Amino acid sequence: MIYFSELKNRSVLSSENGTLGVLADLIFRAFDVPVITKLVVTRDGQSSIIPVSFVKSLSPKIVVNDGQTDTALTENEIYVTKNILDQQIIDIKGNKIVRVNDVVIQDKPQFMIAGVDIGLLGVLRWFHLENPISSFLRLFGINVVSQFLSWGDIQPLELNRGKVVMRQEDKKLRRLMPEDLADHLEKMSIKNISKVIDLMDDRLAAEVVEDLNLTYQQSLFQTMPIERTVKLIERVDPDEAVDILLSLPQRKKQILSRLGPDKRKEIENLLKHSGTPIGGLMTSEFLTCYPEDSVSKVRGMVKKTQEFSFLKYIYVINHDDHLTGVVNLHELLLANWDAPIYKIMVPQVVVVHLSTPIEIAIKRLLKYKLEALPVIDDKRKILGLVTFDDIAQPLMDRLIL
């Protein structure tokens, strides 16, 4: 991961003819996954926009291929400097308003905004005082850590200078991404959640429901009118639909009978295999660490796992034991020994639940080219892993049949 303060005003080099100017700003898509799409480079007061596809590297040097520049902005694209840096954001988890001191950029699998730094170190970094001051404070036993908020945990107060009025809950919610919205909703009572869901159109409601945790999904659908339930079930991912239906034994049949024929067939097919419990396949050997742990500390932890039969990923959990990220062993070996884990972790973790049919676990392992999936409970606490080896046997059984 790279800090924006390390990039701003750095020279942008062309792979062929010298310097193009200095980096003034980054443009990214504020919705879905916050992917960086363009670079704003200024030279003698003139600024030009370079698409990210021309970028060869951002760190340690910014190098771009020559080519056409000045692409227009598309919908939902916003600027780091203009719209995020130094602005106020809502810390959704902490439920308070904070100011962005620095922006954290992730370079794998593609350039995207990982989150923001709201702490003292974020301020000091702009003055190049981060290291001297933190080593000075360490002399007194004070350990300053970055206060990092991931993109999913924040909501910019102003996007494109269009004001988002906080007092009007629904207006603010419309600006949120569905998964963030789900996080935000999980703080409310189930009664309030269903009220908010009632206000949404089917498309948004389905996306939000999909990201709620299973307990909430269960209570929500137990009280929701059948017509609406069916509409939402039809729109959510079939994998999720199966998880939801399994948690609603009394209404399962009723809902299934009203689904469209294609959808119904697909879901019934998946449901058939739900008898195989993930729990039976689960390994309980896994390694966890905290986001602020240093790479060297985690490497030390890895060295103590001689008895593990499988170790490809280290899972990052917060102090409430919620799964918040994952680091693979390769990345851990490549990273600087003193970097904090959150700088190298991937915050989007592909997971399964205990009730997830084995079919779906297999599909997810193959689709995301992973070697193991964490099994989590309703509170996002890790229960164990399903590794590729674990599912090899059931996979064979199905192939032979």
**Footprint of another protein (CB under 8 A):** 85-88, 96-101, 118, 123, 126-127, 161
Nearer to another protein, 99 or 264 (CB): 99
* CB 190, CB 220: distance < 8 Å: yes
The residue whose two tokens read 């046997």 is 393
Nearer to another protein, 63 or 123 (CB): 123
The angle subtended at Cα 120 by Cα 288 and Cα 80, nearest 5°, is 85
Nearer to another protein, 31 or 126 (CB): 126
* CB 375, CB 277: distance < 8 Å: no
Neighbours of 46 (CB within 10 A): 8
- The CA distances from residue 208 to 86, 98, 127, 293, in Å, are 29, 25, 41, 32
Nearest to 3 by CA among 109, 117, 90: 117
Nearer to another protein, 96 or 367 (CB): 96
Report in angstroms how near the CB of residue 4 gets to another protein at its nearest: 12
Nearer to another protein, 26 or 344 (CB): 26
Report in angstroms how near the CB of residue 398 gets to another protein at its nearest: 54
Nearest to 324 by CA among 295, 354, 296, 347: 347
Report in angstroms how near the CB of residue 116 gets to another protein at its nearest: 11
Nearer to another protein, 136 or 368 (CB): 136
Nearer to another protein, 93 or 252 (CB): 93
DSSP string of 90-105, one letter each residue = EETTTTEEEE--EEEE
Nearer to another protein, 97 or 366 (CB): 97
The angle subtended at Cα 237 by Cα 235 and Cα 239, nearest 5°, is 140
| Greatest CA separation for the chain | 69
Report in angstroms how near the CB of residue 7 gets to another protein at its nearest: 15
Cis peptide before 357 (omega within 30 of 0): no
DSSP string of 82-143, one letter each residue = HHTTTSEEEETTTTEEEE--EEEEE-SSS-EEEEEE-SHHHHHHHTT-HHHHHHHHHHTT--
Contacts of 2 (CB under 8 A, 6+ apart): 58, 59, 104, 105, 107
Nearer to another protein, 125 or 353 (CB): 125
Nearer to another protein, 86 or 237 (CB): 86
Query: Alpha helix locations (H) across 108-260?
Result: 120-126, 130-139, 169-175, 178-185, 190-199, 202-211, 214-223, 226-235, 238-246, 252-258
Nearer to another protein, 13 or 98 (CB): 98
Report in angstroms how near the CB of residue 117 gets to another protein at its nearest: 11
Nearest to 101 by CA among 76, 83, 84, 114: 84
DSSP annotation of 381: B
Element (H, E) at 299: helix 295-303
